[in-house]
Each structure stands twice: as C-alpha cells, then as structure tokens.
C-alpha cells in the first residue's frame, strides 16, 4: 500500500536548502537510527547556522516513542536555552 512512497522519499534531498534556515534548530537522532544516522545528523546540524545536534543513545528513528522521557528532557532543555521560545 505505501511501497510506492519509498522511492520518492529515498530520492528526497533538501541538503541544499538547509543553509536558509534561520531559526533555532535542534537536530535529534538516535544511535541506532537507520533513516537519519548520527553522521547524517552531524551533516544536517553543520549545514544549519547555529543548530544543535543531540544523539539519543539506544534509539532508532523514532526516539520520541522509544525513549519519550529522554527525548522530552532534551527538547525542553533546548527550548529553555532559546530566549524567544522560553515562556
């Protein structure tokens, strides 16, 4: 049913557009992430000015479901460091 979506997703490359992102950015990946492995996360964060990379141990691509407490803790810490977003 969803198999027809795989080739376009694999061909999707937004890397040339990352340098136009101008908002605080947190790039999160898991140590076992096969879709966006830590090396890809490093490249993404490196292409976005001021981006922060956070790698969550023992998780795959769905770290927010696999380790929600760790994910939320990291997200809250990032948001607390961004003055415009802190409330």
Write out the DSSP string of 9-42: HHH---GGGGGG--S--EEEEETT-SSS-HHHHH
Instruction: Convert the pLDDT of each residue in 17-55 to its tens digit.
Output: 999 999 999 999 999 999 889 999 999 999 999 999 999
Does CATH place domain 15-81 in 1.10.10.10? no
Q: How far apart are CA 29 and CA 58, in angstroms?
A: 10
- Quick one: DSSP state of residue 67? S
Q: For the chain, how big is the Rg over CA atoms in Å?
A: 14
Give the domain ranges of the chain: 15-81
Tokens 């997200």: give the residue. 75
The percent of residues above 70 in pLDDT, for the chain, comes to 94
Q: Token pair for residue 68?
A: 């929600």
């Amino acid at each position: 049913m969803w198999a027809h979506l795989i080739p376009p997703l694999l061909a999707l490359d937004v890397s040339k557009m990352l340098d136009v992102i101008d908002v605080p950015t947190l790039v999160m990946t898991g140590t076992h992430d096969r879709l966006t492995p830590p090396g890809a996360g490093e490249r993404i964060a490196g292409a976005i000015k001021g981006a922060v990379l956070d790698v969550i141990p023992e998780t795959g691509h769905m770290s927010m479901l696999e380790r929600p407490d760790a994910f939320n803790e990291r997200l809250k810490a990032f948001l607390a460091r961004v003055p415009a977003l802190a409330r």
